[in-house]
Amino acid sequence: MSQAQPQIQVKYDVPLEVRLEQVQKLLEQMGIRNVEPIAATAAQVKRMCVEVEKRRAARSYIMTVEEVMSFAGVSPYVVFAFQTQQGVVCIPDNNFIVDANGVYYVHKIDCRDNSLKCAQVADKVVDLLGIRRLVSSAVFLAIHPSEQELCKLGILPPTACKKKEKEKEEKTEKEEEKRKKTAVTQEELEPLERVALKKLTEELMQVQAQRRAAEEQKPKDPKAALKELGLGWLADLGEADIATLRSIAEDKMLLDALKDAEKRSAVRKFIENGFAPVTPAPQAPNIAKWSQKDIELFAKMTEDTRSFHELVMRYLEAEFGCDVSIIYDIMQDLIKQIGGCEQLQKMRRRFAT
Amino acid sequence: MSIIAQLEEAIKTGRVGPCVWFYLLLVMGRKKQLGGPVPKRLIAKALGRILLWTVNRNGKGNVVSLKAPYVRNAIILYAKEHKCYPYDGAQTSPQVERIIKAHMRAIMAVVRGWVRIAPPCNSDSPTVCQRHLMVRADWLRQFLSEFA
């Protein structure tokens, strides 16, 4: 610092040491104690600090220290380096570090824990050194990125805040308009989509119902079905009988009947005999041995009968000489009153004795 | 069970009606109602069925240009021919056109994927085929019948 001081100090109204003391006091007031003062060349400072604004680097009129001084104030060799999460942000920034031969007095401040406080410090320092014109909003935002908080504390100029607010408002308005538009189209689309969804669901239901019906109709594996029913012995009969087995497996009534061992063996014999009848078919009664009177009676009774029940009724009529329906009703009432056929048997036995 | 899951199961096991593909393209943006996003393979399947029907119906030409208007018209024509709602009672439906237009980005993404794997339609200028989404009709027919 001492190398640079003799050249520049003459141009200042206030000696540099006095202002540096003020800076030191200010930092202490703000509660920042771990300030590392270092002396650095312009190249070192430029290397250390991040480039916040490229635009200024291109401006040709800031070329010499004198120009910087006339443009910004009186302290071109005092630099504050705020170490943030993103990098080291310098005030004044790289664009104003122009004296290649000068030595810069750098205050290195760690801002990684509390960048808002650093932004406040930067604001105060800028005021103290009178370099407001050198420091743009972008530099403060580089130290602490929350625009709202900086605006709230008055660190960012009100014009920038208003501009940002305006931009934000415009953006939100645009977004709202867009949302409204999409909402309108969605509302318009809804009825058709609802019907399409309904139709889609209906179609799916139909497909499922068809599939279910097909599954129900699908013949089960007869052998597996027989085994499930505990009739595995039928399944062992051979491939040739598969059609018969299927018909048996499908007929659950028949399978229930086949649980009887005798019937089962009969069916087995029937299948083993190539489906030929094992037991002789029931034959008509041999009425040739009957008496002539019985034959005539039987012939008379069977003449117009439509069922076995009617035949019995006619027999009763012939036997007792009464109207069939009366006998039938009396018999039913009697059996009901005495409590079933067993009681009837008992009564008969009692009458007999 | 979500509609998408049901649909996938129905496609696997049974035959679904022709309008299902059209309805699927109509409601493909409705994640909430469908119980999840429509998988790309399902969109591709629906689109494949519709385009296969169109290509088979249109016997003319060796090359098909699968540009957006062609695909859109194919979808609408398919719905009309199969009397899918709302074309079961109306001849035109601006609503359907609007919805299909809204879904064209997703639909064309599928189509572009097909064009990318298609053999060049013209040996002299293969890039033209890619640019104009042109594919050979016989290849498209074979590809879609295998794929869809």
The DSSP symbol for A241 reads: G
What global pTM score does this model have? Answer: 0.41
Helix (H) or strand (E) holding B55: helix B40-57
* A246-255 confidence digits (pLDDT tens): 666 566 656 6
Q: Chain B within 8 Å of A86 (Cβ-Cβ)?
A: no
Is A200 in Cβ contact with B27 (below 8 Å)? yes
Dig out the tokens for A77 from the structure. 């060799």
Q: Taking CB atoms and an 8 Å cutoff, what residues of chain A touch B15? A: 207
Q: Taking CB atoms and an 8 Å cutoff, what residues of chain A touch B7? A: 200, 204
Dig out the tokens for A156 from the structure. 């960012």
Percentage of chain B surpassing pLDDT 70?
Answer: 99
Judged by average pLDDT, the poorest of A22-31, A166-175, B135-144 is A22-31
Place B73 in a pLDDT band, splitting at 50, 70 and 90: very high
Q: Which residue of B has its CA nearest to A213?
A: B14
Percentage of chain A surpassing pLDDT 70?
Answer: 69
Q: Taking CB atoms and an 8 Å cutoff, what residues of chain A touch B90? A: none
- Transcribe A249-298 into DSSP letters: HH-HHHHHHTTSHHHHHHHHHHHHTTS--SSPPP----GGGS-HHHHHHH
Please give, rounded to a whole number of angstroms, the shortest distance from the CA of A224 to a CA of chain B. 24
Higher-pLDDT residue of B112, A126? B112
CB contact at 8 A, A148 and A119: no
Assembly ipTM: 0.86
Cα separation, B12 vs B6, whole angstroms:
10
Is A203 in Cβ contact with B23 (below 8 Å)? yes
Q: Which residues of B115-125 are buried (b: 16+ CB within 10 A; e: fewer)?
A: beebeebeeee
Q: Taking CB atoms and an 8 Å cutoff, what residues of chain A touch B12? A: none
Interior angle at CA A199, CA A193 and CA A200, nearest 5: 85
CB neighbours of residue A203 within 10 Å? 18
pLDDT at A281 over 60: no
Q: Chain B within 8 Å of A172 (Cβ-Cβ)?
A: no
Which of A144-148, A175-179, B69-73 is the most confident on average? Answer: B69-73
* A79-122 confidence digits (pLDDT tens): 889 888 888 998 888 878 877 787 888 888 888 888 888 888 88
CB neighbour class for B130 (10 Å; exposed up to 12, middle 13-18, buried from 19): middle
Residue spans of alpha helices (H) in chain A: 5-8, 16-29, 42-48, 54-57, 65-72, 115-129, 137-143, 147-152, 158-217, 222-228, 232-235, 242-250, 252-257, 261-272, 292-302, 308-320, 324-338, 341-352
Query: What pLDDT score does B75 carry?
Result: 94
Query: What pLDDT score does A1 carry?
Result: 42
Mean pLDDT to the nearest integer, A287-310:
78
Q: Which residue of A has its CA nearest to B32?
A: A197
Of the residues A207, A208, A212, A217, the best mutation for testing chain B's interface (the one with the most B CB atoms within 10 Å of its CB) is: A207
Higher-pLDDT residue of A304, B129? B129
* A125-168 confidence digits (pLDDT tens): 888 777 777 788 888 888 888 888 888 888 888 777 777 778 88
Which of A140-149, A222-231, A304-313 is the most confident on average? Answer: A140-149
